Structures are given as structure tokens and as C-alpha cells.
Amino acid sequence: MSLQYIIDAYNLVNHPRFKPQKQSINIQYSLANFIRFNKLTGSKNNEVILVFDGYSPAGQGIPEETGLRCMFSLEKEADELIKKIVENSRQPRNIIIVTDDKEVRLTCRFLHASVLGVEEFIGGKENKKAHLAKISDSNDPKVNYSAMQKINAELKKKWL
């Protein structure tokens, strides 16, 4: 099963860990090379769609290779185009959205697509583990009343 990554391109471009390779190369090529070089999407069989706001820059080539497409949102925002792609998909469970936009994340989750933040996407497995550990540390454990009573009784035996 191959996956489809739909990336909110300007979220990734504006991330501090993204550094274009050369200033003479356009941003679409820099981003495509960054993703491929760092193997951020895993398998070569996975498709990548980079979604940019606005129109394609005049006179600049757009990277076209197997498994990689650049899309421009034209008159609307990239966020709207991303949501529309997921909404029209036959298999949204095979889609991974990469964005930091809360509305897009919520909508895509509702449509059964997976969602990654940009930091999580760039950081890979190590960063994802750290992120999950931080979330689990910040959550207060919920203890039901009977378990609380048992814990209190045990503490009384030891301390009182």
C-alpha cells in the first residue's frame, strides 16, 4: 500500500530547519530536493503533492518527476485546496497531510486522513517519539475512585 503525502508547502518552507540548497534554484525544486534527500516520505512508491498558495511563478520550472507533483491553489488558499483533495479522495486513510494549520488538521482528521505537523514530519521517528512522550507527560492521569481509595489505603499503611 503506497501513501500519498499532501504537504502545505509554505508551512514547510517557513520552518527553521528548511534551508534551500542554493539561492539560484527556485523554491519548488529546493523543497522537492529537501524532501527526497532527507527521505521524509519513506518509500519511493509514496506520492508527494506540494500545495502552494497562489499561481506558479512565471518563467520558473516546476519539478515533475515520478511520485511528485506541485499544485498551486490559484484564486483560493492552499488550505482549501488540501481539504478539497482529501474530500474528493476515494481512500483518505492512505493520505498523510503535513500542515500546522489547525483548521486543515481538524477537517482532514474528520475525513479520516492522517495528519502530521511540520516539525513532526521533518524530525522523523525520533522527533515523533519525543512529541508523544511530551504529550503523555503533560496529561494528568485519570484514576477512578476505587483505585484512589486503594492507593490511599496503601500509603496510609506505609506512612502513618
Residue range 95-132, pLDDT digits in tens: 999 999 999 999 999 999 999 999 998 886 555 455 44
pLDDT at 154: 83
Could you tell me the residue range of the domain that residue 154 belongs to? 4-159
pTM: 0.71
Q: What does the angle CA 27 – CA 28 – CA 30 come to, to the nearest 5 degrees?
A: 60
Write the CATH number for 120: 3.40.50
Q: How confident is the model at residue 82 (pLDDT cuts 50, 70, 90)?
A: very high
Q: How confident is the model at residue 59 (pLDDT cuts 50, 70, 90)?
A: low
Q: Give the count of beta carbons closer than 10 Å to the beta carbon of residue 99.
A: 25
What is the rounded distance in angstroms from the CA atom of residue 61 to the CA atom of residue 7?
19
Asked if residue 53 lies in contact with residue 81, where contact means CB atoms within 8 angstroms, the answer is no
Residue 29 contacts by C-beta under 8 Å, 6 or more apart in sequence?
61, 63
Looking at the 3D structure of the chain, how many domains does it have? 1
What is the rounded distance in angstroms from the CA atom of residue 101 to the CA atom of residue 59?
30
pLDDT above 70 covers a percentage of the chain that reads: 79
Most confident among 22-36, 93-107, 138-152 (mean pLDDT): 93-107
The more confident residue out of 103 and 145 is 103
